[in-house]
Chains A and B, each alone.
Chain A
Amino acid sequence: MALLHKLFKHRYSIGIDLEFVDKGKLKATLCLLKNVGGELRQIDTQAFDSYQDLFNYLKTRTHTPVYLNLRGAGVIQHCSTDEKNPAYSKDLLQNLQNLEGLQLLAFAREAFVISVIDKFKAEKRFVLGVHLGLNIAPMVSIIKTAQIPVGKHLLNIGDAQVELREISQTGNERIKGLVRTVDDRLSVSEACSFACALSSVSSENANLRGLHALEENSKEYNYQHKYNTLLKASVVFMLTLLLGNYLAFDHYFSKNRALQQKIAISKTELAEVEQKKAELQTKKQFVAVNGLGASSQLAFYADQLALLLPVDTYLESLNVCPKQKSKREKQIRFDKTRIHITAGTSDTENINNYIEQIEKLDWVAQVSIASITPDHKIDQLQFSLILKLVQS
């Protein structure tokens, strides 16, 4: 699971601060972050003044998740030290940030937010999170000093303290916000885009709740991300497999070529060995079929079996190595492993005794009764036995 999690984790994230200036103008600031072994690094920062330029840049980063921060026209920003929030319509989407006891509230119409998301979707870019208004809460710990204008107020941050004061109405100069971090100086837009890009680590920062379009985007993006990762992994796996296969093929091919050369040189020698082997096999089979390996012991077997006959028992037939009935084969064959006995007796006890005696013979492997039938005319039992001989 840990491996899968690592595999499907996003390595890059893009935060974009979209500030809608008056007269339909747009100021977009982009921040590209990279996650290297848990450590976040800022790879790139860019500023654009149109959607087209922004989307052109995003084409180079097709599978990187995008988090947006919306500010300016269309977004109402409210800042107060009171815990009471202003009463706005429930139709508006809202973001609330608590900054060291200071309430930062931002509102926007749902239709406005969705229109921005749709612009990105039209370019096949999935927005995974949206934040409204000033977004500096995630990086407040690294801010050394900051002066940020929020409507008619100026937000001062310094020595880990947040202060809000009114901007005097007399001055005509527009105050430019500035954020000083431990090792950098950032504009408000850059700070907001950086904080927004951090959303890939903690989605709490860009969580406009209840926005169906975001949930849909997130699902679709995750599916695509997994699919692309699996596809890449599959391609890498197959390339590795093909490389390994090529090495193995080359190894066996060269070995085979060398061996075939060796075999070609010694072909006659091999043929001679094969011929002798085949000849030996044939002769072995011939010896086995015709029982030439051992001397015939027909008389010995017949003599022994007759000697063991109990009292009141007489042989009716004895067939040592019986002829095999085979219509298919022209050649006559004998079953050298069997003896068939048919005998008559007055008592079943005699049959048992006879079998027991036969079983003691070391050249008999098995004795089985083929049949026992009563002959009522002479008040006798006729029985047939089949003996299986030990094979040497």
Chain B
Amino acid sequence: MSAVFLLLIACYSFGLKKTMAQKTLYGKNMSQAQMIDKAPELLSKYQTELQLIGSKIAGYAGDWSKVDGVFFALLSELALKHEVQIASLEKPLEGSFEQYRLKTYPVTLKAEYTKVLALVDELEQDRSLGKPVSLDFHLEKDENKQKVLKSTLYYKIISSDEK
């Protein structure tokens, strides 16, 4: 019986295993062949989707070296308009994702709740530069140990051009 068992193992190793490998390869080849048949259709579909996504990204199209100045100008203008005090403006956090460049500006604002909301709302409406990505309201004690409302806004700008 051990001879039969050994024969079975030999059958599997030298026969069935190779056939199974061919069958797996056939499955892969078939999917590739189907992809070839659908290639023109797929190319057209992917191209359309890429265009759609490109329009969604629609980042800052201007000179990237001057983007800090553009943002500060916009923020100052809106802060003046809505009577919001810019408590601090930290150095932007820079990053990249694939071919895009990113800058995230942490801005600390000091003003009434509704006025900050009005400023943020207007920043959200203006899509030409970037968009606010996070807003944090919190109470802090000032030098007179009085609780004052402070808010931290993160504003992200993405370059529209590739590296």
Contacts and interface: CB of A to CB of B under 8 A. Distances in A.
B124 A295 contact: yes
B26 A317 contact: no
Chain B interface SS verdict (over half): helix
Interface in A253-284: 253, 255-256, 259-260, 262-263, 266, 269-270, 272-273, 276-277, 279-280, 282-284
Interface majority SS (helix, strand, loop, mixed), chain A: helix
B34 to A, nearest CB: 10
A255 B39 CA distance: 21
A286 interface: yes
B18 to A, nearest CB: 6
Nearest to A279: B50
A119 interface: no
Interface string A241-255: 110011011001101
B88 interface: no
Given A280-B50, A290-B97, A331 B102 contact: yes
B23 to A, nearest CB: 5
A298 B124 CA distance: 8
A177 B29 CA distance: 82
A255 B33 CA distance: 11
Contacts, number: 173
Contact of A306 (B23, B46, B53, B113): B113
Contacts of B68: none
Interface of B: 1, 4, 7-8, 11, 15-16, 18-19, 22-23, 25-26, 29-30, 32-33, 35-36, 39, 42-43, 46-47, 49-50, 53-54, 56-57, 93, 95-98, 100, 102, 104, 113-114, 117-118, 120-121, 124, 127, 131-139, 154, 156, 158
9 closest A-B pairs by beta carbon, nearest first, are A299-B121, A252-B22, A259-B29, A276-B46, A331-B95, A317-B138, A299-B120, A298-B135, A249-B19
